[in-house]
Amino acid sequence: MPLSLAKRLDVVQPSVTLAMNARAAELRATGVDVFAFGVGEPDFDPPSFVLEAARNALAPGAKPGVSKYTAVTGIPALKEAICKKTAHARGWTPKPSQVTVTVGAKHALFNLALALYEPGDEVVIPAPYWVSYPEQVKMFGAEPVPVPTTEATGFKMTPDSFAKVLGPKTKAVILCTPSNPTGSAYDESELRALVEVWKTKSEAYLIVDEIYADLVYDFPHVSAATLAPDARDRIIIVDGVSKSYAMTGWRIGWSIAPERIAKALDTVQGQSTTNATAIAQQAALAALTGPQDEVAAMRDAFMKRRSVMVDALNTVPGITCRRPEGAFYAFADCRGLYGLPYKGKPIATDEEVAFFLLDEAHVAAVPGGAFGAPGYVRFSYATSPERIVAGVASIKAAVARARG
């Protein structure tokens, strides 16, 4: 018998978003034209000057040392650019010593989990939540405490529902706005009310995942760090280039944390990955410091696609979909499809809906249960309007066939 695996993994689920992506890729490899509404990944290329910066870093005679180990927490120029972006977007200039450049924002969250959570700690996570939050908390023996929200409140916490879950064991709160998976975003007054509750009722850290901050369509994005200047010693911002600059595979994210925590993250990373890839850091630097018009164009394209996806989904009998304020996800109530025949049985779960969509409509989408919201399915609209229209038409046809 092989020796056992570490027990800490017994409670951890694999990433369902990535699993659905892998299943769609398998189907695609057999020649099927799969509609990619599964993984949250822009279909655009990064801006051309980003690619050029990476090529320049690799070119013969490139700056000496450009592709060697960098400082563990990132090259100074990138950290400086992150601070400038923060000043511009959030009206607050952190110090470069607060920044840790990581291998994607997921890695920033993982490093934070390793540095902060331990058995006995609770981490408050509004539901629906992004799949990796609770699993990372569990990996370190702490307890995720979901705060249920409903479509009736726009999948947003109310100050009352938030206050109820904060307690002496709360080590951190993870807030994602705009949200993956629902696309919901807090406006300034809603967020201010929550920040007040957190500040007055809790000693916990507030981790704000702002990876979709450039993608709010109905009002300006506001950061908790902007609203609570007196509590920045407890606020940690997580961000990255994956979504705004269409750079998912480049794996560059970062955290901006109080210096005491940033020092701990330096130690964690210095004993694990060392620096994020040097070439990718050069590319991220170009992304942040270059012209931002392509980012604005991608944002406008996502905004148009939002209407295309939501309007189309709402024409499918059995599916209803709220209009989200941001990100690139439509989070649809699919309980109206329950009862349709699939593989000789009536559909009874969101997971079965997702498999039905994949097998019968060749649409990859992620079941809501993985996000703590059974009955729903997440459709990413980070793909062309033509594909969105054709994919939803394929769903409609599959549903009509199943209804007989």
Residue ranges in contact with ligand GLU by CB under 6 A = 15, 17-18, 39-40, 106, 132, 180
Question: Minimum distance from CB of 216 to ligand GLU (Å)?
Answer: 17
> Closer to ligand GLU at the Cβ: 17 or 177?
17
Residue 103: CB minimum distance to ligand PMP, A:
8
How far is CA 322 from its chain centroid? 19
Q: Which does 253 bind (CB under 5 to 8 A by kind): ligand PMP, ligand GLU, none?
A: ligand PMP
Regarding 242 and contact with ligand PMP (CB under 6 A), the answer is: yes
For residues 198 and 254, which CB has a smaller minimum distance to ligand GLU in the complex? Answer: 254
Least Cβ distance, residue 145 to ligand GLU (angstroms): 21
**Is residue 40 at the binding interface for ligand PMP, with CB under 6 A as the rule?**
yes
Is residue 255 part of the contact set for ligand PMP (CB under 6 A)? no
Residue written as tokens 């952190």?
A: 94
Residue of the chain from 42, 74, 94, 104 that contacts ligand PMP (CB under 6 A):
104
Contact region for ligand PMP (CB under 6 A) — 101-109, 155-163, 280-288, 394-402?
101-109
How near is the Cβ of 260 to ligand GLU at its closest, in Å?
28
Distance CA 130, CA 142 (A): 17
Interface of this chain with ligand PMP, residues 125 to 184, rule: CB under 6 A: 130, 176, 180
Among candidates 276, 338, 315, 281, which has minimal Cα distance to 393? Answer: 315
Q: Rounded to whole angstroms, how far apart are CA atoms 178 and 222? A: 10
Residue 15 binds which entry of ligand GLU, ligand PMP, none, with Cβ cut-offs from 5 to 8 Å by kind?
A: ligand GLU
Kindly state the smallest distance separating residue 371's Cβ from ligand GLU, in Å: 9
Omega within 30 of 0 (cis) for the link into 178: yes
Per the CB < 8 A criterion, the answer to whether 241 and 247 are in contact is yes
The helix/strand/coil state of 72 is coil
CB atoms within 10 A of CB 12: 13
Q: Which is nearer to ligand PMP, 170 or 255 (CB)?
A: 255
Q: How many residues bind ligand PMP (CB under 6 A)?
A: 13
On whether the CB atoms of residues 321 and 332 are closer than 8 A, the answer is yes
Characterize the bridge pairing of strands 341-342 and 235-240.
Answer: unpaired
Q: Which residues pair with 144 in a beta bridge?
A: 123
Cβ density class 117-137: b for 16+ within 10 Å, e for less: beeebbbbbbbbbbbbbbbbb
By the rule CB under 6 A, 209 interacts with ligand PMP = yes
Instruction: State in angstroms the smallest separation of the CB of 269 from ligand PMP.
Output: 14
The helix (H) or strand (E) run that includes residue 267 is: helix 259-270
Which of 24, 53, 105, 301 lies at the binding interface for ligand PMP (CB under 6 A)? 105
CB of 7 to ligand PMP, least distance (A): 26
- Would you say 225 and 90 are in contact if contact means Cβ atoms under 8 Å apart? yes
- For residue 199, count other CB atoms closer than 10 A to its CB: 17
Residue numbers at the binding site for ligand PMP (CB under 6 A): 40, 104-106, 130, 176, 180, 209, 211, 240, 242, 248, 253
